[in-house]
Amino acid sequence: MSEPNLSVQLGRLSLKNPILTASGTFGYARELAPYLDFSNLGGIIPKTVTLEPRIGNRPPRTVETASGLLNSIGLDNDGLEVFIEKHLNYLLSLDTAVIANIAGRHIGEYSQMASRLQDYPEIAALELNVSCPNVSGGVDFGTNPESTEQVVRAVRDACDFPIIAKLTPNITNIIPIAQAAKEGGADAVSLINTLQGMAVDWRNRKPILGNVLGGLSGPAIKPVALRIVHQVANAVDIPIIGVGGISSIDDIMEFLVTGASAIQIGTASFYNPGLSGDLSQQLRDVLKEQNCDSVQQVVKTLQLS
């Protein structure tokens, strides 16, 4: 049997394989260079960038929980211009797709950032963070269909990049939000961002995180992520990138058969920084075992009866 075709198509975005790194867990890639060959990745999504610098939330900002990690970073970053000046050229020199992740306080900031990044057509796509649970403002866009559509449409009008909307699980029904992202012109949706949670030091009667609340990631949220991928895949005609607790080839296959066309490795990179680079060969081996010629052959093949 010939080697399986690992390439995937997410709307206008073409990737050489479906394995991406999740924003906020891979830095600006330099930090992970000693641990993996970037060419083995389908793409890199660096940490979220905002128009102006943000100092983020007060510490402590992270705490380990059972089967997961709570973070309350608060989108700490040096702003768009520093990202362009110090990080973007290095990222674009790597042998993989670079998907910039942006967040704004209002719709105008999203479109302004998208327009500025048009000067760098080598960027493969934009992922819109409309769903960070530990900053004021951002999550509001992703909890309302109208505002989600408006943000996506504004970015679509401001640039030529493929657009990925990263959606929040912290709502009752995500299907209208995913549909709104599609109507606004998104090429794909990332499902899911973190679940809002908290940790408590009961002896001192205090929350552990400086911001009280944070976003839960890691294996604990995988069942929720799979459920949401399943729901959206069966209700909205849009490519899905699965995110949430993925740390093995079995996890990847679970998301693919449930309906995702690509996936992101997030929290697992903290304790196994080379993992994402190893998974493309493992995916190739599993597809061969399954007598599949391509990734697409396994996408959304879940049998419900």
* Contact predicate 1/11, CB 8 Å: no
* Contact predicate 196/220, CB 8 Å: no
Amino acid sitting at position 298? V
SS3 166: strand
- As a whole number of angstroms, the distance between CA 111 and CA 158 comes to 6
* Contact predicate 233/226, CB 8 Å: no
Given the residues 41, 99, 132, 221, select the one marked as catalytic. 132
DSSP code of 37?
-
List strand residue ranges (DSSP E) for the chain, in order.
8-10, 13-15, 19-21, 43-44, 49-50, 62-65, 68-71, 97-103, 125-129, 163-166, 188-191, 195-198, 200-201, 206-207, 213-217, 240-243, 262-265
- As a whole number of angstroms, the distance between CA 259 and CA 256 comes to 5
Instruction: Note if 159 is an active site residue.
Output: no
Question: Which residues belong to the active site?
Answer: 132
